[in-house]
Structure 1
Amino acid sequence: MNIENIEAFIYVCQLGSFNKAAEALFLTQPSVTARIQSLEREMNLKLFHRNGKNISLSDKGEHFFPHAQKILQSYQDAKYGMQQVVLPNELNIGSALSISNNVLPTILPEIKSEFNNVRMKIVTGHSKDILNKVINKDVDFGIVRTETHPQVESILLYEDPIHLFVPPGHELLNQSKVTLENVGNQPLIFFDYGSMDWLYIHRLFSNNHITPNIALEVDNMETAKNLLLQGMGISFLPEHCVKKELEKGQLFRVALTPPIKMSINIDLIYLKGRSKSIFINFFKGKFKI
């Protein structure tokens, strides 16, 4: 069904004249007449009674009029909504610091390639800070370690394993079998008190009735990694945080016996009600949810 024909029908109904409808639509009167006739042929019914220059709605026309209004309104709402979604000038992304340093450089080129004309602004902070910025609409969406809140929805980007990492030459690298008891005797660097990562690791020790030797506790994993690089201790860290250091041989992964599986989620979070955003749809198309 042609939306221009429906628009012409509504204008004629509201203005009571083909000529007035033509003026309002910046068309000629024959063009409006042709649109009405096309709509009548498509619906196989007469919408107007014509008596010279006077017109009036037929019974079928009166029945169709409110439906035509709804169709046009739905079309205009959808068109406006798509313009708002498709044509933003700026995209504000909130990101946890470690994700900004280690994950965004691999994601941003693809986003920029898809939305080349959109100016992007990156804001970093603690995952909880980014969550608050999403809720307060300071950023369009956030990329964080799992944070839950009734006002936000999330898309799982990927599951990030947590492993034990040590600097080069560490004694644990020479042991054929490393147990959790061995790890508990080493100076440990913990980070981000109260976070899911922190809770996972503490639960790991408490469930095995081991009191870890916590040498240092810092407020973010980037600091923990840098202290680890300086030989200040060993640390359980998410894989994404140490990817570059592993590749360069600056840090090494230590497998535990028995094997222990821990991981965190890297999520894209956004305010509820923004699920129609083209950016959200872009991420939904890239990742399984």
Structure 2
Amino acid sequence: MDIENMRAFIAVAENGSISSAAQELHQLQSNMTAKIKKIESEFDTELFYRRPRGMKLNEEGKKLYAQFKKIVLLWEETRSMMNQENPVLRIGLMVSKHPPNFNQAMGMLYEKYKNLTVTIRTGSTQKIENEIADGLIDIGFLVGRTDVSPLHYKKYGTERLVLIGRNIDKPLNTLLKDENLIISSSNCYYKKVFEQLLEDHHVVCTDFVEIAAFESLISMCQLGMGISLIPESDTAGLGIRDYRVIDHPACELEKYICYRENHKITGIEQQLMNMLATAD
């Protein structure tokens, strides 16, 4: 079994689409289709549910996906060792949202590479994109994208923003009109979501309350000093039981790993990306 065929299978599984996977791996769609058919022929079974809008792993596909992830991860570890790469990671993370298993993944890499050097810069989606484009960091983990720079984006999941505060049972247009709208910065991607909600509810807001420290932002909302948007997946860890799901497409965000188009991904970077990216 060719390692590139395994990568193709993983990419299709994680993107849910042959065309998206082909774009990610810079291959022709016909080549990707051939790779998937070859793998299914190898194991004499279908591995995906074929749907009008994409593909999804079936039960056999899920088993193979888990095995291929292990094999590719081991291959990247071997590549790093044999190429004698310096174990260096220069990463960008959003202030308000890290990949859910980021700490676990980093712990595993520190265990493997005792001399691992890590640089982490935090900020808004746009700030991280700009710093990658400028060469200050190499890869970033984002919620949403602005396309301000010519970067390569790899989708690795979805996230839903929810509303938090003490008075969130009121009508949404009333909340948007009467409450302080709290964001982490003027460049925060979640501000764009608030702006879309304001526009759709015909509410004019000329000012937002900016609180850079995420813990302080949460505390202000819990004290009833305003409302904010946060990822639903963070609510349990923050001890937030009362939040409001907003039925609006702007609150459904895609998560991306991004890097410069001319950046050659190192073995250790690929290991980290493989640990964090999973198929639904």
Query: Residue in 1 aligned with 2:150?
Result: 151
Q: What is the number of equivalent residue pairs in this alignment?
A: 193
Q: Secondary structure at the match of 1:236?
A: strand
Q: Give 1:277 deviation, angstroms.
A: 2.6
CA 263–254 in structure 1, closer or farther in 2 if over 3 Å, else same: same
Contact 1:225 1:242 in 2 (8 A): no
The one-letter amino acid paired with 2:127 is D
Question: 1: distance between equivalents of 2:93 and 2:82?
Answer: 24
Q: What residue in structure 2 maps to residue 184 of structure 1?
A: 176
Q: 1:268 aligns with which of 257, 263, 270?
A: 257
Structure 1 SS opposite 2:101: helix
Aligned residue for 2:243, secondary structure, equals: strand
Give the direction of change, closer, same or farther, for the CA distance of 1:136–1:84 in structure 2 (3 Å limit): farther
| C-alpha spacing 1:94/1:220, structure 2 compared with 1 (3 Å) | same
Paired position in structure 2 for 1:87 = 85
Which residue identity does 2:102 align to in structure 1? I
Alignment partner of 1:161 is 2:160: yes
Q: Distance in 2 between matches of 1:280 and 1:265?
A: 21
Classify the secondary structure of the residue corresponding to 1:237: strand
- Higher RCO (CA < 8 A, seq sep 6+): 2
Once residues 274 and 205 of structure 2 are traced to their aligned partners in structure 1, the CA distance between those partners, rounded to angstroms, is: 40
* Pair 1:97-2:95 in alignment: yes
TM-score (norm 2): 0.56
8 Å contact kept, 2:182–2:226: no
Partners of 1:136 and 1:268 lie apart in 2 by 17
5+ residue gaps in structure 1? 1-80
Letter of the 2:152 counterpart? E
Give the letter aligned to residue 244 of structure 1. Answer: G
Identity among equivalent positions (%) equals 11
Deviation digits for residues 147-172 of structure 1 (CA, Å, limit 9, x no counterpart): 42443212223221111112xxx344
2:156 & 2:83 partners in 1: Cα distance?
Answer: 22
Of 199, 218, 225, the residue aligned with 1:232 is 225
Between the aligned partners of 1:230 and 1:84, the Cα distance in structure 2 is 55
Q: Which of residues 269, 272, 278 is equivalent to 2:267?
A: 278
What is the aligned partner in structure 1 of residue 278 from structure 2?
287
**CA distance, structure 2, for counterparts of residue 180 and residue 147 of structure 1:** 26
CA contact (8 A) 1:184 1:213 kept: no
TM-score by length of 1: 0.54
| Aligned residue number for residue 200 of structure 2 | 207
Q: Over the residues paired in the alignment, what is the CA RMSD in angstroms?
A: 3.4
Q: Do the aligned partners of residues 104 and 86 (structure 1) sit closer, same or farther apart at CA in structure 2, a change above 3 Å counting?
A: farther
1:132 Cα shift?
A: 2.9
**Aligned residue in 1 for 2:121:** 124
Measured in 2, the distance between the counterparts of 1:112 and 1:142 equals: 18
Cα distance in 1 for partners of 2:219, 2:206 equals 19
- Give the secondary structure class of the aligned counterpart of 2:86: coil
More helix by share: 1
Give unmatched runs, 5+ long, in structure 2: 1-78
Q: CA deviation at 1:232?
A: 1.2
Q: Could you tell me how far apart the structure 1 residues matched to 2:179 and 2:83 are?
A: 51
Q: Distance in 2 between matches of 1:123 and 1:275?
A: 19
Q: Residue 199 and residue 97 in structure 1: after superposition, are their counterparts in 2 closer, same or farther (change >3 A)?
A: closer
Q: 1:252 aligns with which of 232, 242, 246?
A: 242
**SS of the counterpart of 2:96?**
helix
CA separation of 1:124 and 1:104: change in aligned 2, threshold 3 A:
farther
